[in-house]
Amino acid sequence: MTLAVTYLPEAPAHDPEIDDINEEAFGPGRFVRAAYKIREGGPHDRNLSFVAMHDEVVIASVRMTWIAAGKGRALLLGPLAVRPAFKNMGIGRKLVAMATDAARRAGAPAVLLVGDEPYYGPLGFRRIPAGQMVMPRPVDPNRFLAVELRAGAVAALIGHVQHAWQVDGMPADIQTGCAHARASVA
């Protein structure tokens, strides 16, 4: 039997279910993670974030947040969370592929994440050289990964990683629902 799953761009109406999924997947420990600290600096980009639905219920989600490291800009993928009953069905991988493809179309130079290389490696993610970037809280360097969407983009990301708003300020196009001005992607 094939599971009927619909993939959609994230909308504000999905927020309560996404919060529930993240609670199930990560528990209260999520609030002390390095990536969460970055996301506290400003919103994620709903235009590049997606949900998976089954029977009109959100069963998984992935979010993308614009970050800055030195003069470079990129996206931070996460959290990626799938309800336990729907794990190991390829739903998370499909969401990562969708978010990465959307980032590429939006002109993002790279996507970073903190995660397991055996899971994300087949999707193109590779380890970031140790010491190149510093997250706001400690991360295992073997789990700090990136996929380049533009040649040389990861090498341009140097120093402390923070939400792009912390460097660039609130974008002028925030009223349109974009979480980050496209001009700062270049």
Q: So what's the pLDDT on residue 175?
A: 34
Our measurement of the distance from residue 35's CA atom to the centroid of its chain's CA atoms, rounded to an integer in Å, reads 9
Please check whether residue 75 lies inside any domain of the structure: yes
Please check whether residue 83 lies inside any domain of the structure: yes
Judge whether 103 and 76 are in contact, CB under 8 Å: no
Please check whether residue 21 lies inside any domain of the structure: yes
Please check whether residue 184 lies inside any domain of the structure: no
110-117: average pLDDT: 96
38 sits in which H/E element? helix 34-39
Please check whether residue 181 lies inside any domain of the structure: no
More confident residue, 69 or 181: 69
| Count: domains in the chain | 1
Our measurement of the distance from residue 100's CA atom to the centroid of its chain's CA atoms, rounded to an integer in Å, reads 9
How much is the mean pLDDT over the chain? 87
Show the domain range for 76: 6-172
52-67: average pLDDT: 96
**Integer Cα distance of 185 and 181 in angstroms:** 8
Judge whether 82 and 60 are in contact, CB under 8 Å: yes
Going by pLDDT thresholds of 50, 70 and 90, the confidence category of residue 170 is low
The yes-or-no verdict on residue 32 having pLDDT over 70 is: no
**Integer Cα distance of 30 and 114 in angstroms:** 12
34-63: average pLDDT: 90
Please check whether residue 177 lies inside any domain of the structure: no
Going by pLDDT thresholds of 50, 70 and 90, the confidence category of residue 1 is low
Instruction: For tokens 């349109």, name the residue.
Output: 176
The amino acid that residue 143 corresponds to is R
Please check whether residue 183 lies inside any domain of the structure: no
CATH number at 129 reads 3.40.630.30
Query: Within a 10 A sphere around the Cβ of 134, how many other Cβ atoms?
Result: 15
